[in-house]
């Protein structure tokens, strides 16, 4: 299997396009009452990014695994974006463009027509974390593993610990990243791997939904 080429998403604040200032939650709530579309841009951004990821996974023939007992893979579902559902989206442009380049070409209305659905509870920061964790985990698991600590950690566990450490370091434990975890409080080291795998599985579920024109929380 090839390497995912879609890049991870840096954590960002969403700014008012008119004055460039970061919007508070209260400001977003006020705008939601005035115009729901004005605050949907974050959901649209994440849908666009997940669609880019789906298209890249389709390129490398990625199959989402169905896991049975003890994590054993019992079957896989091929990632395949519905060309019929997304017929108006110009998927070739989605692959190559930034969100803003694509979105500003009167693409906003695509999210409100044609039966596209997203959950009301869709949350930006967890979606970013799962997206990033999935890309990091998938790519790192497809590379040769040498424990950088010089120890003898099992690959899945070692990769998971590196991801948690890197994301904490990158954003200082900000919202949407893994909360700070002290090595001494990890207890059973498998707990770190389970946390990472939960995000991987949640991301895979979103990937399959996006292929079908849905965007769950």
pLDDT band at 119 (very low <50, low <70, confident <90, very high): low
Give the SS3 label for residue 164: helix
Question: According to the model, what pLDDT value does residue 146 have?
Answer: 83
Residue-wise pLDDT for 161-210, tens only, equals: 889 888 776 655 454 455 544 444 444 554 888 889 999 999 999 999 99
Return d(Cα 3, Cα 84) in angstroms, integer. 27
pLDDT, one tens digit per residue, over 42-52 is 889 999 999 99
pLDDT band with cut points at 50, 70 and 90 for residue 10: confident
Q: Stretch 35-40: mean pLDDT, rounded?
A: 63
Report the range of poorest mean pLDDT among 53-62, 112-121, 171-180, 193-202: 171-180
The Cα 135–Cα 6 span in angstroms is 8
Question: Is pTM beyond 0.75 here?
Answer: yes
């Amino acid at each position: 299997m090839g390497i995912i080429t879609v890049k991870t998403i840096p954590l960002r604040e969403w700014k008012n396009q008119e004055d460039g200032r970061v919007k508070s939650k209260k400001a977003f709530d006020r705008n939601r009452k005035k115009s729901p579309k004005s605050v949907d841009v974050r959901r649209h951004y994440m849908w666009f990014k997940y669609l880019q990821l789906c298209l890249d996974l389709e390129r490398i023939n990625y199959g989402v695994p169905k896991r049975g007992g003890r994590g054993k893979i019992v079957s896989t579902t091929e990632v395949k974006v519905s060309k019929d559902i997304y017929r108006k989206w110009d998927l070739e442009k989605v692959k190559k463009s930034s969100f803003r380049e694509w979105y500003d070409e009167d693409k906003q209305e695509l999210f409100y027509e044609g039966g596209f659905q997203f959950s009301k509870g869709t949350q930006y920061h967890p979606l970013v974390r799962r997206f990033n964790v999935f890309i990091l985990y998938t790519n790192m698991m497809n590379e040769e593993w040498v424990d950088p600590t010089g120890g003898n950690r099992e690959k899945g566990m070692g990769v998971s610990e590196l991801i948690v450490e890197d994301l904490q370091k990158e954003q200082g434990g900000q919202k949407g990243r893994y909360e700070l975890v002290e090595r001494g409080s990890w207890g059973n080291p498998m707990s770190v791997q389970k946390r990472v795998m939960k995000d991987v599985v949640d991301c895979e579920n979103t990937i399959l939904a996006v292929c079908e024109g849905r965007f769950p929380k």
